[in-house]
Amino acid sequence: MASLVPRNIVAFGRWSLLVTTVLLVAFPFLSVTIPPAVDLPQHLGQVRMFYEALAGQRPDLTIAYLAPGNLVYLLLAACDALLSPFAAGRLALALVVLAGVQSAWAVATRRDRPMGAVVLTAALAFNHSLYWGFLPFLCGWPVFLVWVHVLPTARTGVLAALALLLYAAHPLWFAVGAICALPGTRHLGWKRAGGRGLALLLPLALAALWYPTLTRLRSEAGFDMTAHFFTSPVERLDPRYLVDALLGGIRGPTETVVLAAMACWLVGAVVAARRGGAVDRHLLLASGLLWAIAFLGPDKFANTLEFNGRFFPPAMALLLLALPAPRLSPGLANLGAVVILLALSAVTALSWVRFEAEDLGGLKEAVEAVPEGSRVLGLDLRKQSAIVKGRPFIQAAYWVQAARGARPYFSFAEHGVGLVSCRIRPSGPTPGLEWSSELVKPSDFKYFDHVIANGSEEVHKALLLTFGLEAVTYQGAFRLYRVPSMPNPGGESLGFRP
């Protein structure tokens, strides 16, 4: 019995650390109504359109049951069935992130990896993929981590189920998972190598059917399908680039300080490894593959933003899990990791609260004032935030689809990926207004019943006085306008300078 006591203490410590980590990661999500995840409203809109297509209300829509990337929509639909759209989106996003935390903890426990590394991987959850709202990609990370863990020993049936789950989560994670199954295959023997091939056979066949359709749809819609390298591998070594690639969510020095502390951990881990600390070579190999994609892959490919950049945080997470902890007492190492996560969690929560109050002011009121089924144009005439990096307002107005069943100017259904897709957008309004709202023309307004505009007081005055839009809400950066029956027919663009 005495030998069981240390095991019980270790198990209690691991569970306590998991609970602490989960609470710290969840804290920012509990602090706001609308988390700053750009694509979140569009993904919820997919669920709304799915129900409309299923009921025969949208004959222009096609349900892509077998397309990759649909796994997250099961979670979104479940949350949407229980809660209001804003609460459903926040809960689903939090659960996807926390699934990554739980997966890292479970793998670390099974492979006897340092618990402090798990806490640090949780800090990496607040990365630019979260802020962009890449929900399917975020959903694929915990599945990929389990795939990497079981790949050397799992039976063919288990691998087949996980391979399908990877495909359902995200096509990029499935592609990377398939590559991970290749190294060392010749040493497995024909039986096990054949088993891996059989496990991948069905999702590979589905992918082979799906990708040509995606390419055709996106090409017909005018999307750029070529690979673009905006940065070189050398430029990606720049510390400023790495800060945004590994985190890249909130402005200010916090992310730099957190990553500097993480770098100190890695230095200590490398020293410990050189002195005989246990290195998990399997996780290290998977990390190396993700680092290679991150440094050598295109910045944009097939209209997929952050193609290479989204792999930086998972690559770092696997590296942390693969290396031993620094040569400190386990308690001190774990405490240091918790302090790092605590600092990031607290600053993130404060930033999100401020972002919602200042930058998203008026959004919820404007969305809730939109009549059901209204045709809505969203105009982002501010673009940048002093609090959150990137382009956090692009899709904000399109909460109207999930919350009010409105018909938005732009929908992810036009991308040809996801649960629901549609035919090419009919000619009419100026294209590309979701990214360049300053190009909107007075003649564009006639296609819509309402406009949700995000801008300064000067912008809102211009929308009222110059273009004759009728104000419905009056407070905040986001305001709702009604388009009059006879809008200004002029053809010049607004020419706003965000």
Helix (H) or strand (E) segment spanning residue 422: strand 420-422
What integer best gives the mean pLDDT of the chain? 91
Single pTM value for the model: 0.93
How high is the pLDDT of residue 184?
Answer: 57
Phi, psi of 124, deg, nearest 5:
-70, -10
Q: pLDDT confidence of 493, banded at 50, 70, 90?
A: low
How high is the pLDDT of residue 130?
Answer: 98
- For tokens 């969305």, what's the residue? 367
pLDDT of 178 strictly over 90: yes
Q: Do the Cβ atoms of 246 and 320 come closer than 8 Å? A: no
**For 298-315, what is the mean pLDDT?**
93
Helix (H) or strand (E) segment spanning residue 35: none
Q: State the Cα torsion 221-226-232-237 to the nearest 10°.
A: 50
**For 2-28, what is the mean pLDDT?**
80
Query: What confidence tens digit (pLDDT) does each residue in 397-426 have?
Result: 999 999 999 999 989 888 877 899 886 666
Q: pLDDT confidence of 488, banded at 50, 70, 90?
A: low
Q: pLDDT confidence of 1, banded at 50, 70, 90?
A: very low
- For tokens 């390298």, what's the residue? 229
Higher pLDDT, residue 62 or 25? 25
For 295, what's the count of Cα atoms within 13 Å in the CB-facing half-sphere? 13
pLDDT of 292 strictly over 90: yes
From the number of C-beta atoms within 10 Å of its C-beta (0-12, 13-18, 19+), residue 243 rates as middle
How high is the pLDDT of residue 315?
Answer: 98
Query: What confidence tens digit (pLDDT) does each residue in 181-190 have?
Result: 886 555 666 6
DSSP 3-state of 140: helix
Query: What confidence tens digit (pLDDT) does each residue in 392-403 have?
Result: 999 999 999 999
CA distance 434 to 454: 12
How high is the pLDDT of residue 173?
Answer: 97
Which pairs count as long-range contacts for 123-126, CB under 8 Å and 24+ apart, including other chains?
123/258, 123/262, 123/340, 123/341, 123/344, 124/246, 124/247, 124/313, 124/316, 124/317, 125/25, 125/97, 125/100, 125/101, 125/313, 126/28, 126/247, 126/249, 126/250, 126/344, 126/345, 126/348
Cβ count within 10 A of residue 195: 18
Q: Do the Cβ atoms of 65 and 420 come closer than 8 Å? A: no
How high is the pLDDT of residue 4?
Answer: 44
CA distance 416 to 435: 18
Q: Do the Cβ atoms of 495 and 467 come closer than 8 Å? A: no
Q: Do the Cβ atoms of 364 and 328 come closer than 8 Å? A: no
What is the share, in percent, of the chain residues with pLDDT greater than 90? 77
Tell me, rounded to whole angstroms, the distance of Cα 110 from its chain centroid. 27
**For 254-271, what is the mean pLDDT?**
97
Residues in the chain: 498
How high is the pLDDT of residue 3?
Answer: 41
How high is the pLDDT of residue 188?
Answer: 66
pLDDT of 280 strictly over 70: yes
pLDDT of 223 strictly over 80: no
Tokens (6 digits) for 35: 């988390």
Sheet with strand 450-454: strands edge to edge: 407-408, 375-380, 450-454, 478-482, 470-471
DSSP-assigned letters across all residues of 253-281: SHHHHHHHHHHHHHHHHHHHHHTT----H
pLDDT of 491 strictly over 60: no
Higher pLDDT, residue 490 or 34? 34
Q: pLDDT confidence of 47, banded at 50, 70, 90?
A: very high
CA distance 83 to 268: 45
Q: pLDDT confidence of 487, banded at 50, 70, 90?
A: low
DSSP-assigned letters across all residues of 121-139: HHHTTSSHHHHHT-HHHHH
CA distance 495 to 493: 5
- By mean pLDDT, which of 30-34, 135-139, 354-358, 416-420 is the weakest? 416-420
Cβ count within 10 A of residue 337: 27
